[in-house]
Structure 1
């Protein structure tokens, strides 16, 4: 082997892998911590969107719909928030986040 060949040594590669591992260990917990907050905000936006669809249904049919009527009428696709909780509609037409 020639002494002046260019390339990385095993030590240099191990140092690079160690640095990448440390960066991943710092980054992954932060992403998972913010994931629940993102899902909560997504659910809040979904509830507001469903509330507007309840008003649209009420204007067209002159009655407050159930969640199933909204799904059957293709006003919404499903009754689940991004965080997995279901929604419910009260007798007054208010949309609530359930369990």
Structure 2
């Protein structure tokens, strides 16, 4: 029984650092996908209203639900309509 507990403990000690490392990579990939989605919504807003929106206008118009990436960083839209992450 002690041997089984020791083996499980060793496996957990090996697995937990890998899981936490991959969690950051997953959030970064999620942020890339989110930025692409917001970029598409900027284009949709621009086609409907003939102007480049602000993040707040996208939120108010329900084009997007959040102004933050999965990794917690906020987004911004520059004067050209390009979407980027703040704090990266």
Structures share a fold, TM > 0.5? yes
Question: Which residue of 2 is the match for residue 49 of structure 1?
Answer: 37
Asked if residue 27 in structure 1 is aligned to residue 19 in structure 2, the reply is no
Question: Which residue of 1 is the match for residue 28 of structure 2?
Answer: 40
3-state secondary structure, aligned to 1:45: helix
Structure 2: where are the runs of 5+ without partners? none
In structure 1, what is the Cα distance between the partners aligned to 2:22 and 2:30? 12
Structure 1: where are the runs of 5+ without partners? 1-12
| Alignment counterpart, residue 61 of structure 1, candidates 36, 45, 49 | 49
Runs of 4+ deviating beyond 2 Å: none
How many residues are matched? 87
In structure 2, what is the Cα distance between the partners aligned to 1:23 and 1:63? 55
C-alpha RMSD over aligned residues: 0.6
Question: Which residue of 2 is the match for residue 71 of structure 1?
Answer: 59
